[in-house]
Amino acid sequence: MGNGNYIICQKCEYEREFLLGLGMMWGNIENIIGFMDKSSREEASKILQENPDPHYKTDGNCVYQCQKCFSLREKIHLLIYDKNGKIVYRTQSNCIKCKGKRKRLKENSNGILDKITCPKCKSNEVNVSEGFCWD
């Protein structure tokens, strides 16, 4: 199950909806990789070939935010471990503008995004409410 997050900035009225968490159809790692964007998919598939049937962890859809320009990106979170438990793949989101890594925004225990900054006016007075549930 996943949950929706509806964000609206109190200052500039920027609004956006995210679908976070895990969909029911993501039964195995091949499926998860299949839902990723093209470059992540290629990278993760390569690692999967080198590490067949790996131990992995996913939090499903997550939101990543650039710490400089505050651009937002929704991406599928995935960690793949090798036999020794070392992380060999980790979802990363790069801001093309800043050439830096975006940081993953954590959700609180209710599945609501914490500490989100408005990408438009940089205000942190952003109201996040629960959207609809999905599966």
Q: Which of 68, 101, 103, 115 binds Zn ion (CB under 5 A)?
A: 68
CB 37, min distance to Zn ion, A:
17
Part in contact with Zn ion (CB under 5 A); list of ranges 15-23, 27-35, 76-84, 94-102 = 94-102
Gap between the Cα atoms of 59 and 70, Å rounded: 22
Gap between the Cα atoms of 7 and 106, Å rounded: 14
Gap between the Cα atoms of 87 and 89, Å rounded: 6
- Given the complex with Zn ion, which of 118 and 128 has the nearer CB atom? 118
What residues between 95 and 134 interact with Zn ion by CB under 5 A?
A: 95, 97-98, 118, 120-121, 123
Q: Which of 7, 9, 36, 113 binds Zn ion (CB under 5 A)?
A: 9
Q: Say whether residue 66 binds Zn ion (CB under 5 A).
A: yes
Write out the residues near Zn ion by the rule CB under 5 A.
Answer: 9, 11-12, 14, 66, 68-69, 71, 95, 97-98, 118, 120-121, 123
